[in-house]
Structure 1
């Protein structure tokens, strides 16, 4: 009896790594498969979290960071999966873990079902009131829920959204990102009580809704450059964002902005140190919103709407993609520090592995 774990993106790896570490600690056998949707910094993340290398990379040395490369990756993924299904390599697993709401989540769940493996969905139950917003994440969440046998729901709202779903709903008391963040903070040489000592802000933009809409993308680039004249900014570039910028007139303009530093992605502990040293965060990322809410970091969501409630009305604000709101947020937080909140001890990853361990034991007994 073993577990198949399918991971495709950096965010998925960060949120799944604490579960892998806990299964390693308890001696639970699992097969780790990377889809190859993203590959940049995966080796760095393995070192940072102390996880082992993947047993298999379906599409090695690949980065699906454009529409054409995504289509090519999709074809290669299914070509390799069909080979695995014919050889029955995965059929010994009793449960397949997928995470989140990416193409790798959907394809991993589909592949598991084709192999006759039960699906366990980590971070299940997140919902938007609109089926097509955010696109394609909301559609993926709903489709994956229909294929899932065990829904690992991070909070009561997510569990309530799954009230009519088939399968078992397991409340994990939080997101596994809590465990990843806690681990990263323990690696710092003394966590300060106040954040913002670095006198800079952090920017991260990568959502399809912002990269694919020309008017919104232009607005965000203009706003980032304008904000960098108020407070120095470190713009962490995801592969898709870097590729989008490179195809536009913004590359030279961003590089010419004296208060703006374009940065490559880094390992997770280093990114957390970057956040702790920052005065503010501007992002469109759901994981960044969760991290910032747990830390207490003043954060502006670069979106018109969000389906996530983490930190809203507290340290998290919604920009509605309004230029004035973006500028006002930067002015408001550029000169101040913020109190770093303690991370709760309860481990969502531990609760997930508790359930997996009991399930495997019951299956072995039968």
Structure 2
């Protein structure tokens, strides 16, 4: 029997790993544990309550609230490195063959790689192969992706471009590379009841490069203020975004309604009702793609080219062109689809095959 350790720290990681965790729990071929890094501790714990069965949880943190400031991040990293990397004691039983599953491109992804190596586990990198082809864009996500894929044993991707990137980069290695039909996020979305409530614009912004610059934040808010002339703006704020708005003493116009983040299911309902979504989030881009929503991606480029269609516009931070896109009335019939197979089941079948 193989031991599976999911190393999870962020909201997106918990959401995308949950279907795979539940599929693992349906089979008796694996022992499943969840290692919680504590990065988004309050949010992750709520999401992971939805596992189909009770799961052993390993906590590698001491904070009780989400990590949302640079100071908190530094303390969190030092605590983790000293207690779980430098100390000689291990946190796993190596009697069975073990696999540590890490997801994406966050600091928790990188820590999961280190933790898995420390405990002599094979590493599976989920959502591997994404790249901007520019080392420092986005920062630090692109660097983390490259490091984690280089030192992982199994690489799971979701589209042909990512598969090509991995196959080219690691053509002479012994890595196991597998493309599955869709991103596991498709298994978390109820695609029904996609009825639009006129003139609602749902907004998120959280990428480091977009929130650490006062100039960029002010430009984004000015853009939203213009959008508010035709739409009701509902901006759901990540904690780091709140922190930088406060740090820069930025006053958000009353035309823009501010909200805390919602539970995932409730947020999906808000996306469904929205006439337009404005976001810099990769996971939200994917959700909007599957839901067939009219979406502005507030970035210069996106690594998720597989999650683009005619209803989506990569803004390049061009407010004028973005406003033109919003005002265009045409909504292409590119509604989402449900994969005939479960991406999570495909991953498990592949692991049974190679192990």
TM-based fold match above 0.5: yes
CA contact (8 A) 1:22 1:349 kept: yes
Query: Partner residue of 2:229?
Result: 229
Query: Partner residue of 2:141?
Result: 137
CA contact (8 A) 1:97 1:120 kept: yes
Query: Partner residue of 1:344?
Result: 339
Give me the CA root mean square deviation. Answer: 2.3
Aligned length: 347
Q: Structure 1: any 5+ residue segments left out of the alignment?
A: 186-190
| Aligned: 1:79 with 2:82 | yes
1:247 is displaced (CA, Å) by 2.0
Q: CA-to-partner distance for each residue in 1:43-62, whole Å, 9 max, x for gaps?
A: 33234565646612211413
Q: CA-to-partner distance for each residue in 1:289-308, whole Å, 9 max, x for gaps?
A: 11111111010010122222
CA contact (8 A) 2:113 2:123 kept: yes
Which of 164, 172, 183 aligns to 1:175? It is: 183
Q: Structure 2: any 5+ residue segments left out of the alignment?
A: none
Query: Partner residue of 1:69?
Result: 72
| Aligned: 1:95 with 2:99 | yes
User: Distance in 2 between the 1:65 and 1:172 partners?
Assistant: 33
Q: Which has the higher contact order (CA 8 A, sep 6+)?
A: 1
Query: Partner residue of 2:261?
Result: 265
Query: Partner residue of 1:239?
Result: 239
1:84 is displaced (CA, Å) by 7.1
Which of 37, 43, 46 aligns to 1:44? It is: 46
Gap change, CA 1:287 and 1:267, over 3 Å in 2: same
User: Distance in 1 between the 2:145 and 2:333 partners?
Assistant: 34
Q: How do residues 1-366 of structure 1 correspond to structure 2 at under 5 angstroms?
A: 1-27=2-28, 28-47=30-49, 50=52, 52=54, 55-59=57-61, 60-82=63-85, 85-89=88-92, 91-92=94-95, 94-163=98-167, 164-165=169-170, 166=173, 167-181=175-189, 184-185=190-191, 191-192=192-193, 195-197=195-197, 199-250=199-250, 253-254=251-252, 256-258=253-255, 260-332=256-328, 340-359=335-354, 362=355
User: Distance in 1 between the 2:53 and 2:68 partners?
Assistant: 25
Gap change, CA 1:230 and 1:26, over 3 Å in 2: same
* Larger mean Cα displacement after TM superposition, 322-331 or 300-309: 322-331
User: Distance in 2 between the 1:223 and 1:85 partners?
Assistant: 52
User: Distance in 1 between the 2:221 and 2:56 partners?
Assistant: 36
Gap change, CA 1:177 and 1:157, over 3 Å in 2: same
